[in-house]
Structures are given as structure tokens and as C-alpha cells.
Amino acid sequence: MAKPSIHLSVPSPQPLRLSGLAPVVRADTRLLVLGSFPGAASLAAQQYYGHPQNAFWKIVAATWLGDALALRHAAYDERLTCLLDHGLGLWDVYASCEREGSLDAAIRAPEVNDLAGLRQRCPGLRAVAHNGGESFRHARYSASLGVPVHRLPSTSPANAGWPFERKLAAWQDVFKLYGLME
């Protein structure tokens, strides 16, 4: 007679609560780019758009320097200074969330950043641009700032449906509207 098998149920581990990055803004920031939440590579590096395949830094460099490698290989502090000097700020819609991996689709239990508090910190703010669809889902929060809100194609490598040139053109169109083009 066979012995009955015993199946133990092992609970799956709960995803860790992750905290996002601080905003990169100053009083003269004219355009704020809002992502959804930093990916694993960005969190590990403590840098916005830290994944080497993310097109954000390549777009910025192609726009302002004409040389995509120059800015992408500059020190992170230098890149942030370049953004701020051109009137561009960075932040994310979510302050924290639970997530395994880097995909927006895996975000659970998000906590939204205090976007309303940005008005005092950035009196020169003229517009908000959401980097991708997940960020744009929360456009109602950025619209409360009383400035135009734009949806830009995601710079994430997961957005392979948009070739780089098409992403670049869309981003540059918004940059031009707010005087961020040289």
C-alpha cells in the first residue's frame, strides 16, 4: 500500500516595498518629465534612466549636444546639471510601490508622489510631460498643477514599437514648445 503524499504549502515571498528617487528640479524648471517608477537598474544605481538601453539620455544628448555619447557617458551629476540648465526636471509619478523586476505592469500597491507640492518648488513650471503610458495614467494629478500635460512615448527598452528617430521627434516637439531647444 502506497503512503499518502504530503504537500506543504509554502507561501510565496511578498515583494519588497521599493522607494523611488528624489525629484530633480529647481525654481526655474520649465518642463517636468514624469516617469512611472525607476526600473531595477535605476534603483541599483540611484540614477534616473539608469538602464543602458533606455533612450532618455540618448534623446537628451541628441537634442542638446548633437552627440548621443557625450552626455550618456558624462558623470551623472553633470547630466543632471545639463538638464536643469536647460529647464528640464525629472521625477516619477510613484513615490513607492511593490514590484518584482522592472516592468510597469508588475507595479503593485503604488503610492503617488506629492505632485501638488511641486508648484511651490518650481514657480517657473510651464508643462508636464509623461514618459509613457503608465505615467500618463495619472495625468489627473499633474493636470492639477494648472499647466499643460503631454504624453510622450516611453523611452524604455520595452517600448520597442517606436524606433529611436520617432521617439526623438516626439520628444523634441515638446521641448520646442517650452523653449528647451537650442
Q: What pLDDT sits at residue 67?
A: 59
Interatomic CA distance for residues 90 and 93, integer angstroms: 10
* CATH, residue 37: 3.40.470.10
- Strand 127-131 to strand 88-92: parallel, antiparallel, or no bridges (unpaired)? unpaired
From first to last of its 182 residues, what are the pLDDT tens digits of the chain? 566 555 555 555 566 899 999 999 999 999 999 999 999 999 999 999 999 899 999 999 888 876 556 676 789 999 999 999 999 999 999 999 998 887 777 889 999 999 988 888 999 999 999 999 999 999 998 998 999 999 999 999 889 899 999 999 999 999 999 999 86
Is position 113 annotated as part of the catalytic site?
A: no
- State the sign of the Cα–Cα–Cα–Cα dihedral 84, 45, 105, 61: positive
Interatomic CA distance for residues 33 and 51, integer angstroms: 17
Number of structural domains the chain divides into: 1
Q: Tell me if 84 is assigned to some domain.
A: yes
Interatomic CA distance for residues 21 and 38, integer angstroms: 8
Q: What pLDDT sits at residue 68?
A: 55
Q: What pLDDT sits at residue 10?
A: 52
Q: Tell me if 102 is assigned to some domain.
A: yes
Q: Tell me if 3 is assigned to some domain.
A: no
Q: Tell me if 135 is assigned to some domain.
A: yes
Interatomic CA distance for residues 52 and 31, integer angstroms: 24
Q: Tell me if 8 is assigned to some domain.
A: no
Task: Give me the domain span that covers residue 169.
Answer: 20-178
- The one-letter code for the residue type at 37 is F
Q: What pLDDT sits at residue 103?
A: 76
All three cell numbers of 50, joined, read 539608469
Cβ neighbours of residue 80 closer than 8 Å, sequence gap 6 or more: 24, 90
Query: What's the pTM?
Result: 0.87
Q: Tell me if 141 is assigned to some domain.
A: yes
Q: What pLDDT sits at residue 4?
A: 59
Q: Tell me if 12 is assigned to some domain.
A: no
Q: Tell me if 6 is assigned to some domain.
A: no
